[in-house]
Amino acid sequence: MTGAIYDRGYRPYDGAVGGRFSAQSALFRLSVRRALGWRRSWRQKVAPLALLAVVTVPAIVNVGIVYLSGGASDTSIEIITYRDYVGISSALLLFVALTAPDIMCPDRRQRVLPLIFARPLTGADYVIAKVLAMTALVFGFSFIPQMVLFLGQMLVSADGALRYARDNAEVLWQVPVAITALAVFYSVIALAISSLTGRRIIAGSCIGGLFLITSAVSGIIAANSATVLSREVPPEQLFGGGVDRVPLAGEPGSNENPFEERFIVYDPTPAPLINLAGLPLTVRDLVFLGQIDEDTPMSGLDNGGLFTIVVYLAIVSGSFTMLFLRYRQVDP
């Protein structure tokens, strides 16, 4: 293909010239658009939108149940609470494993970092823009279902929207604080891992593997600290309570059978602190409950809440440090 140039000239740029903040803002917008597939083929939009639809389904179902029940406020009909809705782990982990590598890896793989740093942008500016972009994505992914749940239940409440909003006013600060803590935690870890390679599939596999392995190891350690207590229970005492009951003899369902009542008792253990998927959920419990959930292996551990905050801050700080060191130089 050939062509001809008929005229060539130069003229000075008379538009606005931005500084470091403008460059950071542009990088932030570019990272968000890339992760969500904006201005890209429809295939790039399917995964994030599908995952968002999946995590929103429980909120829609819960609102539908409340509506069909006449707007009753009885908590027994709830299938999910605001606290439980913070950190839908499997869908959230998949979302993070898909978007974080898409934000970090192409810049290194395509060797465009020198071009990016040709602007008035430092390595710290680059890291901050990327972390803010990833945090905003995770926050939005977790907050949208919460908003659907709150607004939906408020509109169908039999007591009226204003009464429901007033009775659940604490949710308006608990949910954003808990989601922000979770979003920062997931984002810095995922971006730190993604900064080590230019291959998105490798980065995504490492992110998912790290969270799953630490969860499994934590579960094994906690299980070894559990004690199963049991005793025979007469049939007339079988009703009530939430323990597991197993018939010891005779035909199943016979009223003459004694049953075995099982209690699983966990010795207090700090094992959940190494569970990267569960640690931000413990922080969530501190926000919503003011203490560690009594049903977790860390319940009863002296200074368990303090240990949780210290480990959380240490992991976040370590991930930030790793990112700053990784991009302290212009060369990729």
pLDDT digits (tens, 9 = 90+) for 259-283: 555 555 556 778 888 999 889 999 9
Stated length of the chain: 332
CB 309 within 8 A of CB 283: yes
Q: How many CB atoms lie within 10 A of CB 119?
A: 16
What's residue 250's pLDDT? Answer: 46
Q: Give helix 89-109 / helix 200-224 axis angle, nearest 10°.
A: 140
* Pick from 131, 130, 147: nearest CA to 52: 147
What's residue 131's pLDDT? Answer: 95
Judge if pTM exceeds 0.75. Answer: yes
The phi, psi pair for 238, rounded to 5°, reads: -80, -20
Q: Which amino acid is at 276?
A: L
Q: Using 70 as the pLDDT threshold, list the residues of the chain that sit under it.
A: 1-8, 13, 71-79, 89, 225-267, 329-332
Distance (Å, rounded) from C-alpha 144 to C-alpha 141? 6
What's residue 78's pLDDT? Answer: 60
Distance (Å, rounded) from C-alpha 58 to C-alpha 49? 16
Distance (Å, rounded) from C-alpha 263 to C-alpha 265? 6
What's residue 72's pLDDT? Answer: 59
Distance (Å, rounded) from C-alpha 81 to C-alpha 305? 22
> Which letter, b or e, does each residue of 64-94 get, where b requires 16 or more Cβ atoms within 10 Å of its Cβ?
eebeeeeebbeeeeeeeebbebbbbeebbbb
What's residue 244's pLDDT? Answer: 42
**Structural domain boundaries in the chain:** 20-212+306-326, 226-266
What's residue 299's pLDDT? Answer: 77
What's residue 324's pLDDT? Answer: 92
The phi, psi pair for 120, rounded to 5°, reads: -70, 65
Token code pair at residue 211:
């969270």
What's residue 7's pLDDT? Answer: 67
Beta carbons within 8 Å of 282's beta carbon, 6+ residues apart: 272, 292, 293, 296, 298, 308
Query: N- to C-terminal Cα distance for the chain?
Result: 35
CB 269 within 8 A of CB 292: no
What's residue 143's pLDDT? Answer: 93
Q: Is 265 helix (H, G, I), strand (E, B) or coil?
A: strand
